[in-house]
Amino acid sequence: MTRRRVAGAVAVALSYVGLALVSAWLSPIARRPVLDGLAPIAPYRWVSPPPELADGNQPPAVGTFEIRLAAGGSEPGVFITTDNQVTVVVDRGQFPPRERDRSVRLTVTPLDPATLGALPGELTAFGNALELRATYEPSGMPARVAEPLRFIAVYPTTQTLHATTHEILRSDDGRTWTALASRDAPGIQQVEASVTEAGFLVVAGELTPNPAITTPAAENADPLIVILLVVSAAAMLVGAAFLIRGRRAK
């Protein structure tokens, strides 16, 4: 009975490994580990969505945040737009105090990147452009940061919009762009950069084929993949049979 249980468990494990190999062969995206609690990424909200996504699109949120000022400058805080597409992290004192102003108003406004200047080289905009502004309140004077802010933006991936790496570009006027040192996290589709001034920001990348849609057709399936599938299915059936017989033998 013990041998049957062990044989059944081994067969099921082998079938899992076989199927994992097949999935990894078909697409690099399928190689992600299975983690408890991993939630799907929410649909991206576009200012101007692609035609195939227009029906289900929701408008992106405009972020308006009030940062309190103390004697030493701005209070720390993490500010996230209601659609979770932009996060700004402010450390203590990053906005210096100013006369009688009591706070800094930080605004993040999504824009259609097509209304701004073309990006340099072969770069393509991923999702919305973003206008970041900061003003002292109640004076309304522009606020400048003493230390860089952490700016985190979510970006979309579609069948035709895919890149290996992403970066954030910044512009004073929305016409001439400068690349910022960026940290890309493709698994959660977001990129982070340090921002030293207000202005226009956009996530950009060089277009590459999307591996999620390059799976070969069934009629052109590789023979090795077919063999792995058949062996994995057979191993799973054998393992299940051993486990069922072991339970009945009790």
Write down the pTM of the prediction: 0.70
pLDDT tens for 112-161 read: 999 999 999 999 999 999 999 999 999 999 999 999 999 999 999 998 99
Q: With 80 as the cut, is the pLDDT of residue 2 above it? A: no
15 or 106, which is more confident? 106
Q: With 90 as the cut, is the pLDDT of residue 217 above it? A: no
CATH number, domain at 77?
Answer: 2.60.220.30
Alpha carbons 105 and 138: distance in angstroms, whole number: 9
State whether 116 and 189 are in the same domain.
yes
**158 found inside a domain:** yes
Geometric angle at alpha carbon 221, from 219 and 222, rounded to 5°: 145
In terms of DSSP bridges, do strands 178-179 and 182-185 run parallel, antiparallel, or are they unpaired? unpaired
Secondary structure (DSSP) of 116-148: SPPPSTTEEEEEEEEEEEEEEETT--B---SSP
State whether 79 and 112 are in the same domain.
yes
Of the pLDDT bands very low, low, confident and very high (cuts 50, 70, 90), residue 210 is: confident
State whether 193 and 150 are in the same domain.
yes
* Mean per-residue pLDDT, 168-178: 97
State whether 172 and 74 are in the same domain.
yes
The count of structural domains within the chain is 2
Of the pLDDT bands very low, low, confident and very high (cuts 50, 70, 90), residue 74 is: very high
For all residues of the chain together, what is the average pLDDT? 83
State whether 83 and 170 are in the same domain.
yes
* Mean per-residue pLDDT, 222-249: 60
> Which residues form the domain of 71?
51-211
State whether 128 and 198 are in the same domain.
yes
What proportion of the chain, given as a percentage, has pLDDT over 70?
68
pLDDT tens for 23-64 read: 544 444 343 343 344 556 889 999 999 999 999 999 999 999
The region of weakest confidence among 31-40, 62-71, 188-197 is 31-40
State whether 118 and 235 are in the same domain.
no
**35 found inside a domain:** no
State whether 79 and 149 are in the same domain.
yes
